[in-house]
Amino acid sequence: MNQSQNEFAALALASPLLRAITDAGYDKPTPIQAQAIPLVLEGRDLLAAAQTGTGKTAGFTLPILQRLSASNERPRPGRPRCLILTPTRELAAQVGESVDTYGRHLKLSSLIVFGGVNINPQLAALRKPIDILIATPGRLLDHAGQRSVDLSGVEILVLDEADRMLDMGFIRDIRRVLALLPRQRQNLLFSATFSDEIRQLANGLLHNPATVEVARRNTASELVDQSVHLVPKAAKRGLLSYLIGSNRWTQVLVFTRTKHGANRLAEQLGKDGIEAMAIHGNKSQNARTRALAAFKDGSLPVLVATDIAARGLDIEQLPHVVNYELPNVAEDYVHRIGRTGRAGSTGAAVSLVDDEEIKLLAGIERLIGRRIPRVEVEGFTLADAARHESDAAQAAPRNAPRRSQADGRRGGAERRDNRHENRHDTRRGDNRGPRDGRGKGQARDPVQAQRRQPASAAPEHSPRPATETRSASPSQETAPASRKLVGAFGRPPSGPRRIR
Ligand code: AMP
Query: Could you report the per-residue pLDDT of 300-332, keeping only the tens digit for each?
Result: 999 999 887 666 566 666 789 999 999 988 888
Most confident of 96-105, 313-322, 365-374: 96-105
Q: Residue 19's CB: how many other CB atoms inside 10 A?
A: 14
For residue 353, give the 3-state DSSP assignment.
strand
The overall average pLDDT reported for the chain is: 77
17, 21, 23, 30, best to mutate for ligand 1 pocket (most atoms within 8 Å of CB): 30
> Which H helix or E strand runs over 230?
strand 224-230
What is the number of alpha carbons within 13 Å of residue 451 lying toward its C-beta?
A: 19
What pLDDT was estimated at residue 477?
A: 26
List, in sequence order, the alpha helices (H) in 103-208: 120-125, 137-146, 162-167, 171-178, 196-205
Q: Quick check: 108 pLDDT over 70?
A: yes
> For atom 5 of ligand 1, which residue has the closest CA?
55
Burial class (CB in 10 A: 0-12, 13-18, 19+), 270: middle
Give the mean model confidence (pLDDT) for residues 422-445. 31
Q: Is the CB of 340 under 6 A from ligand 1?
A: no
Predicted confidence band at 254 (pLDDT cuts at 50, 70, 90)? very high
pLDDT higher for 385 or 92?
92
Q: Is the CB of 58 under 6 A from ligand 1?
A: yes
What pLDDT was estimated at residue 178?
A: 97
**Could you tell me how many residues make up the chain?**
500
Predicted confidence band at 103 (pLDDT cuts at 50, 70, 90)? very high
**Would strands 496-498 and 375-377 be described as parallel, antiparallel, or unpaired?**
antiparallel
> For atom 18 of ligand 1, which residue has the closest CA?
26
Strand order in the sheet with 302-305: 224-230, 347-353, 320-323, 252-255, 302-305, 276-279
The CA 55 to ligand 1 mean position distance, Å, reads 4
Q: Quick check: 482 pLDDT over 70?
A: no
pTM recorded for the entire structure: 0.57
Q: Any long-range contacts for 264-269 (C-beta under 8 Å, 24+ apart)?
A: 265/237, 265/240, 265/304, 265/324, 266/302, 266/304, 268/237, 269/237, 269/240, 269/241, 269/244, 269/302, 269/304, 269/456
pLDDT tens sequence across 408-432: 333 333 333 333 323 332 222 333 3
| Contacts (Cβ under 8 Å, ≥6 apart) of 82 | 64, 68, 131, 132, 133, 154, 155, 156, 157, 158
pLDDT higher for 241 or 453?
241
The CA 487 to ligand 1 mean position distance, Å, reads 47
> For atom 11 of ligand 1, which residue has the closest CA?
55
Q: Residue 490's CB: how many other CB atoms inside 10 A?
A: 26
β-sheet bridge partners, residue 347: 224
List, in sequence order, the alpha helices (H) in 248-315: 259-271, 285-296, 307-310
Helices 405-431 and 433-443, interaxial angle, to 10°? 20
57, 91, 100, 316, best to mutate for ligand 1 pocket (most atoms within 8 Å of CB): 57
Q: Quick check: 448 pLDDT over 70?
A: no
The string of DSSP codes covering 15-61 is HHHHHHHHHHT--S--HHHHHHHHHHHHT--EEEE--TTSSHHHHHH
For residue 111, give the 3-state DSSP assignment.
strand
Predicted confidence band at 389 (pLDDT cuts at 50, 70, 90)? low
* Residue closest to 174 by CA, chosen among 149, 186, 155, 157: 157
Most confident of 51-65, 172-186, 193-207, 458-472: 172-186
The CA 70 to ligand 1 mean position distance, Å, reads 24
**What is the C-alpha separation between 117 and 96, in angstroms, rounded?**
16
Q: Is the CB of 310 under 6 A from ligand 1?
A: no
Which atom of ligand 1 is nearest to 30's Cα? 19
Q: Is the CB of 222 under 6 A from ligand 1?
A: no
The CA 136 to ligand 1 mean position distance, Å, reads 22
Q: Is the CB of 167 under 6 A from ligand 1?
A: no
Which atom of ligand 1 is nearest to 316's Cα? 10
For residue 310, give the 3-state DSSP assignment.
helix
What pLDDT was estimated at residue 346?
A: 65
pLDDT tens sequence across 38-58: 999 999 999 998 877 788 999
Q: Is the CB of 273 under 6 A from ligand 1?
A: no
Which atom of ligand 1 is nearest to 51's Cα? 2
Predicted confidence band at 396 (pLDDT cuts at 50, 70, 90)? low
Q: Is the CB of 221 under 6 A from ligand 1?
A: no
**Contact criterion met (CB below 8 Å) for 429 and 235:** no
18, 94, 314, 339, best to mutate for ligand 1 pocket (most atoms within 8 Å of CB): 314
Which atom of ligand 1 is nearest to 50's Cα? 2
> For atom 21 of ligand 1, which residue has the closest CA?
26
Q: Quick check: 434 pLDDT over 50?
A: no
Which atom of ligand 1 is nearest to 312's Cα? 4
* Residue closest to 218 by CA, chosen among 325, 317, 55, 336: 336
| Contacts (Cβ under 8 Å, ≥6 apart) of 4 | 21, 22, 26, 27, 28
The CA 94 to ligand 1 mean position distance, Å, reads 11
The CA 28 to ligand 1 mean position distance, Å, reads 10
* Residue closest to 457 by CA, chosen among 499, 497, 492: 492
Which atom of ligand 1 is nearest to 101's Cα? 12
> For atom 12 of ligand 1, which residue has the closest CA?
55
The CA 343 to ligand 1 mean position distance, Å, reads 6
> For atom 9 of ligand 1, which residue has the closest CA?
55
